[in-house]
Structure 1
Amino acid sequence: MRQFTFTLVCSSALAWASVASAADDIRLGGTGGALGTMRLLADAYEKFDRGAKLSVLPSLGSGGGIKALLAGAIEIAVSSRALQDAERSQGAMALEYARTPFVFATAAATKVTGINITDLAGIYSGKIRNWPDGTRIWLVMRPERDSDSALIRNISAEVRAALAKARERPGLFFAVTDQECAMVLEKHPGSFGPSTLGQILAEKRKLKALRINDVEPSARALAAGRYPYYKSLFIVTTSKTPQAARRFIAFVQSKAGQDILGQTGHVVPPFGPTAHAPR
Structure 2
Amino acid sequence: MRLGGTGSGLELLRKLAALYAKQHQRLDVQVVPSLGSTGGIRALQAGALDLAISARPVKPEEQGVESIHLCRSPVAFAVHPANAVAAIRTNDLVQLYGNTSQTWPDGGRVRLLLRPDAEIDTKLLRSISPTVDQSVSQAKARPGMIMAVTDQDNLKLLQTTPGAFGMTTLSMVTAERAKVRLLAFNGVEPTLQNLVVGRYPLVRDYYLIAKTSASQPVQKLVSFARSARGAALMKALNCVAVEQR
Following superposition, the deviation at residue 39 of structure 1 comes to 1.6
Corresponding position: 1:266 with 2:226: no
Q: 93-102 or 37-46, which moves further after superposition?
A: 37-46
Give the number of equivalent residue pairs. 244
Alignment of 1:173-212 (within 5 A): 173-212=146-185
Deviations 1:135-162 (A, max 9, x none): 2111100011222211111111111111
Structure ranking higher on relative contact order (CA contacts 8 Å, 6+ apart) = 2
Following superposition, the deviation at residue 50 of structure 1 comes to 2.7
Alignment of 1:1-279 (within 5 A): 26-87=1-62, 90-126=63-99, 129-270=102-243
Amino acid paired to 2:20 = Y
Q: Partners in 2 of 1:145 and 1:269 — Cα distance?
A: 24
Give the conservation status (yes or no) of the 8 Å contact 2:69–2:207.
yes
**3-state secondary structure, aligned to 1:133:** coil
Amino acid paired to 2:47 = G
Partner of 1:18: none
Give the conservation status (yes or no) of the 8 Å contact 2:13–2:53.
no
Q: Partners in 2 of 1:145 and 1:40 — Cα distance?
A: 27
Q: Partners in 1 of 2:57 and 2:127 — Cα distance?
A: 15
Amino acid paired to 1:146 = E
Following superposition, the deviation at residue 192 of structure 1 comes to 0.3
**3-state secondary structure, aligned to 2:52:** strand
Q: Partners in 2 of 1:128 and 1:160 — Cα distance?
A: 18
**3-state secondary structure, aligned to 1:183:** helix
Q: Partners in 2 of 1:158 and 1:121 — Cα distance?
A: 6
Deviations 1:164-222 (A, max 9, x none): 11111121110110000000110012210111001100000011111101110001000
Give identity over the alignment, percent: 37
- Runs of 4+ aligned structure 1 residues displaced above 4 Å come to none
Partner of 1:14: none
Q: Which runs of 5+ in 1 are unaligned?
A: 1-25, 272-279
Amino acid paired to 1:200 = V
**3-state secondary structure, aligned to 1:59:** coil
**3-state secondary structure, aligned to 2:238:** coil
Deviations 1:12-41 (A, max 9, x none): xxxxxxxxxxxxxx2111000001111211
Q: Partners in 1 of 2:177 and 2:99 — Cα distance?
A: 30
Following superposition, the deviation at residue 109 of structure 1 comes to 1.2
Per the normalisation by structure 1, the TM-score is: 0.84
Partner of 1:13: none
Q: Partners in 2 of 1:240 and 1:128 — Cα distance?
A: 53
Give the conservation status (yes or no) of the 8 Å contact 1:137–1:191.
yes
Following superposition, the deviation at residue 239 of structure 1 comes to 1.7
**3-state secondary structure, aligned to 1:185:** helix
Give the conservation status (yes or no) of the 8 Å contact 1:122–1:128.
no
Q: Which runs of 5+ in 2 are unaligned?
A: none
Q: Partners in 1 of 2:59 and 2:30 — Cα distance?
A: 26
Give the conservation status (yes or no) of the 8 Å contact 2:64–2:212.
yes
Name the CA shift for 1:75/1:121 in 2 (closer, same or farther; >3 Å): same
Q: Partners in 2 of 1:50 and 1:70 — Cα distance?
A: 26
Give the conservation status (yes or no) of the 8 Å contact 1:119–1:128.
no
